[in-house]
Amino acid sequence: MLIPIRDHNPTHQRPYVTYLLMAANILVFFSYAELFAHERALMRFFSDWGMVPARISAGQGWYSLLTHQFLHGGLLHLGSNMLFLWIFGNNMEEVWGRWKFLGFYLTCGVMAGLLQYWAEPDSHIPMVGASGAIAGVLGGYLLFYPRARIDLFLFLIILYRIIPAPAWVVLGGWFTLQLLGGLSTPADIGGVAYWAHAGGFLAGIALSAPLWLRMGGTGFWARCLGQPPHPEARYRLARSNVPRTGRSKRTHPSPWKRRNPWER
């Protein structure tokens, strides 16, 4: 597994709207958590408040383009979304300002829902989750900070390591996977809403572009080389070591000897 766990892009203000959105998602989830023991009741709830494309086609349930953003299909679904919002939301909130960021976030979620609707307008499967809105946050982040450092946690059974990578690799790779998933997955089956993810991501870039241009556009990139325009965050455990086997003895220093991974 390869999971983003943090970035090295600190902010100068507390991201209260990001905290508010995380709290709202968590509280809403636990308000209906007991329904997971009753599958029919859960599906009725998701059908009422999730985004059902067939209802939109019938001119009903437009409110669900907003409400679906605060529903999740399980703890893993909720946790993964909140992790991405935690990592990337604070920087976009600082760029936009608190309440404009809230509008940006919700608008990305609506546009994500609309693209998923366009992909399968006759589907009766409810779409739930904050993924589309958070995908918009990722798209905006990529536009502003393409070379910001993202730490990825690599987990292979008993081996683990923290791998740094630039945002354009992490987020660009994620977007590519969503496109491939959308093109290869039939629209009439349940599962991951790939087109909602792709739609939210593109909406995030499009909505952020005017602000990025006002900040200098490519000139903004040139001033900081696509990295955050301030010193990056430093973490004590920036890397973790992977155990090795079969090391041969050397009788002289190797020019390829790696630096101690715990050194700063």
Say which CATH number the domain at 132 has.
Answer: 1.20.1540.10
Residue 238 falls inside a structural domain: no
Structure-token pair, residue 6: 């943090």
Residue 237 falls inside a structural domain: no
pLDDT tens digit sequence for 212-223: 999 998 888 887
Q: Tell me the residue type at 129.
A: G
Region 84-104: mean pLDDT is: 96
Residue percentage of the chain with pLDDT more than 70? 83
d(CA 200, CA 138) in angstroms, rounded, equals 9
Residue 14 falls inside a structural domain: yes
Question: What is the domain count for the chain?
Answer: 1
d(CA 208, CA 200) in angstroms, rounded, equals 12
Residue 144 falls inside a structural domain: yes
For residue 59, pLDDT over 80 is answered with: yes
Residue 263 falls inside a structural domain: no
For residue 75, pLDDT over 60 is answered with: yes
Domain enclosing residue 13, as ranges: 2-224
Residue 185 falls inside a structural domain: yes
Residue 249 falls inside a structural domain: no
Whether 236 contacts 261, CB under 8 Å: no
Question: Considering the entire predicted model, what is its pTM?
Answer: 0.83
Residue 180 falls inside a structural domain: yes
pLDDT at 47: 95
